[in-house]
Structure 1
Amino acid sequence: MSKRILAYRRLDDQQLEQLREKYQVDYFGKLESADDPAFREALGQANGLIGAGLKITPELLDSAPHLEAIASISVGVDSYPVDELTRRGILLCNTPDVLTETTADTGFSLIMASARRVVELANVVKRGDWQESIGPDRFGIDVHGKTLGMIGFGRIGQAIARRGALGFGMRVLYSNASPKPEIERELGARRCEFNELLETADFVCAIVPLTDETHHLIGAEAFARMKESAIFINLARGAVVDEPAMIEALQRGQIRAAGLDVFEQEPLPSSSPLTQMDNVVALPHIGSATMETRTAMAQRAVDNILLALDGERPLSPFNVEAWGDRLT
């Protein structure tokens, strides 16, 4: 009997056809909830799962007795119970590399927009409030020549640092990462302790995975250590930051501004104080949201699931131990 793939969201016609050439496919392009009865029925027959934006729970996995592999259209895996998948022998694949440069573009745009008050001042013009030259109370700050502190220094963190160091002459510090001697030589970057980074950096950029260890890593104590002139950028996950502590730091002028692409609750509620603060640039989680990159991410996931169900090594398996010797 042919294997079955359950696909949901973010696949184009060509990618769906690629899946259908090899396997039977159940497609839910506008899935609203994992409780959808038709989705649950299809999940019970699925050997492969491909998609993004759905919280996968152990209870959901109980409905998928034949599941062999999951191809997530994302780099982050915090929506998946990785240990449970491994215990059940289910391979999880993700999409590293594909979105590195695009997400770094988003991160650096947050740095620029927050420093130069781009959104705030653009709104001044749109409201018709630009009646005279702006004064010092609306001046921004320079980006070039400043110190960029990266909390996390993986692919995306290094790409952001490369933009800062090579494009803007920024000094780069990094913490919460293993030593990276090659990038240190390339950019003149320096690894330092977490607290030193907080106290020294003009721009503090979080780009770490969400784990038990990084949950609320940046809270009241961290914001208290930052300079009053510091700008905080979060490109990681919302829960890496204690959001109420960040709001208080912004309201009290403990830090200058924030550029945020992620939040503890998404979509961000309209009642959040962050939506009303001029010193906050808030984006709707668009880190990799370009046509080119989202298409490439979906294609990587398609390639991963096809290889996995063919019994071959996927391009980017995450929990290789789930399949043991099968991935040697």
Structure 2
Amino acid sequence: MKPRVQVTREVFDEVLDYLAEHFEVSANQSDAPFTPVELAEHLADKHGALTVLTDRVDDALLARCPNLKAVCNIAVGFNNIDLKACSARGVLATNTPGVLDSATADFTWALILATARRLTEAEAWLRAGEWHGWKLKQFLGQDVAGATLGIVGLGRIGQAVARRARGFDMKVLYFNRKRVDADIERECGATYAPLDTLLAESDIVTLHTPYSPATHHLIGAQQLARMKPTGMLIHAARGGVVDDAALIEALKSGKIAAAGLDVFESEPKLNPAFLRFKNVVLAPHIASSTHRTRFNMAMLAARNLVAALTTGKPPNLLNPPAN
């Protein structure tokens, strides 16, 4: 008998076909998110699961799933998975690093340019029928070329963002928990700076750090107060890295000029105050959302699942002690 696996959200048909070669597959192609109770019910008799960031995998869930051996996230982030609980119960956990770097970096630049040049504000104004002619001072934005870009988190995505900054002749500062190798700094044209220095000197601050207890509210009221009043905050990392309430206050008081946001605390229930700001570009967590990238993410997660349940050695294992 083939192992039983659950796919918790809609994926591409090719991914299901690939999984069906190895497993008995139950798929949620209706794409309605499972509640915690429903998730536990669907995984109760399963050996593996293809999960997404909205699926909370913790000890309470695992206790109800005695056959579960692998949880494979369709995401590079994994803050929805309690790795310690998985290791304690011998459950392998994986993610999908690498395949979404370029798409996320491209979208970060979409946010940077749209925020600096007030694109969404101008489009909404035009669609509302307010454009009646050209004016010299109409929708004046900020220059990106020649500005200073501060990157918080110079991992794969942060490095891809830095490389793109060369085309805009920007000075690039970065902050990382651990300074990267000199070769990477040269390749990216990036200079290390303490976080406070980066915030104070950057015209644009973009966040690319994973979410964890250590990075919870990494950017809060104190950090926002250190930014330039003309500064912009770009956030396409993970909800929780920024204190959304503090960001709203900083925008309201004019401590910073604008923001471009793809992720939020408690998403999809974002703070409604964001909707009232014309100087904030908003997106619904779509930085990696190109057809090729999302397909590759889902297929990599599927390959992780096949490897986990057939060899016990998935290529993107997050918790080696469970192996």
- TM interval, shorter chain, is over 0.9
**Residues 145-184 of structure 1: pairs in structure 2 closer than 5 A:** 145-164=146-165, 166-180=166-180, 181-184=182-185
Q: CA deviation at 1:203?
A: 0.4
In structure 1, what is the equivalent of residue 230 of structure 2? 229
Contact 2:36-2:55 within 8 A present in 1 as well: no
Distance 2:44 2:115 in 1: 47
What whole-Å deviation, never above 9, does each CA across 1:229-286 have from its counterpart, x for those lacking one? 10001111121111111111111111110000001121244x7111111110010110
Contact 1:152-1:208 within 8 A present in 2 as well: yes
What whole-Å deviation, never above 9, does each CA across 1:186-226 have from its counterpart, x for those lacking one? 23211111100010001011111111111111111101100
In structure 1, what is the equivalent of residue 301 of structure 2? 301
SS of alignment partner, residue 27 of structure 2 = strand
Q: CA deviation at 1:27?
A: 1.7
In structure 1, what is the equivalent of residue 129 of structure 2? 128
SS of alignment partner, residue 281 of structure 1 = strand
Distance 1:49 1:163, change over 3 A: same
In structure 2, what is the equivalent of residue 7 of structure 1? 7
Counterpart residue type for residue 5 of structure 1: V
Q: CA RMSD, aligned part only?
A: 1.6
Contact 1:174-1:191 within 8 A present in 2 as well: yes
Question: So what's the TM-score if we normalise by structure 2?
Answer: 0.95
Contact 1:10-1:298 within 8 A present in 2 as well: no
In structure 2, what is the equivalent of residue 72 of structure 1? 73
Q: CA deviation at 1:138?
A: 2.4
Q: CA deviation at 1:137?
A: 6.3
In structure 1, what is the equivalent of residue 198 of structure 2? 197
Q: CA deviation at 1:41?
A: 4.0
Greater displacement, 39-48 / 114-123: 39-48
Counterpart residue type for residue 322 of structure 2: A
**Residues 268-307 of structure 1: pairs in structure 2 closer than 5 A:** 268-269=269-270, 272-307=272-307
Counterpart residue type for residue 294 of structure 2: R
Q: Which runs of 5+ in 1 are unaligned?
A: 324-328
Distance 2:11 2:289 in 1: 14
Aligned length: 320
In structure 2, what is the equivalent of residue 263 of structure 1? 264
Distance 2:10 2:128 in 1: 36
In structure 1, what is the equivalent of residue 27 of structure 2? 27
Q: CA deviation at 1:45?
A: 1.4
Question: So what's the TM-score if we normalise by structure 1?
Answer: 0.93
Greater displacement, 123-132 / 239-248: 123-132
Distance 2:83 2:136 in 1: 53
Task: Using the aligned pairs only, state the percent identity.
Answer: 40
Greater displacement, 183-192 / 198-207: 183-192
Contact 2:10-2:28 within 8 A present in 1 as well: no
**Residues 98-137 of structure 1: pairs in structure 2 closer than 5 A:** 98-136=99-137
Contact 2:261-2:280 within 8 A present in 1 as well: yes
In structure 2, what is the equivalent of residue 89 of structure 1? 90
SS of alignment partner, residue 239 of structure 1 = coil
SS of alignment partner, residue 26 of structure 1 = strand
In structure 1, what is the equivalent of residue 248 of structure 2? 247
Contact 2:8-2:33 within 8 A present in 1 as well: no
Distance 1:140 1:102, change over 3 A: same
Distance 2:93 2:25 in 1: 19
Runs of at least 4 residues off by over 4 Å: none
Distance 1:273 1:131 in 2: 30
Counterpart residue type for residue 202 of structure 1: D
Distance 1:254 1:85, change over 3 A: same
Contact 2:163-2:189 within 8 A present in 1 as well: no
In structure 1, what is the equivalent of residue 47 of structure 2? 47
Distance 1:299 1:289 in 2: 14
SS of alignment partner, residue 240 of structure 2 = helix
What whole-Å deviation, never above 9, does each CA across 1:113-140 have from its counterpart, x for those lacking one? 0000111111121111112324436200
Counterpart residue type for residue 235 of structure 1: A
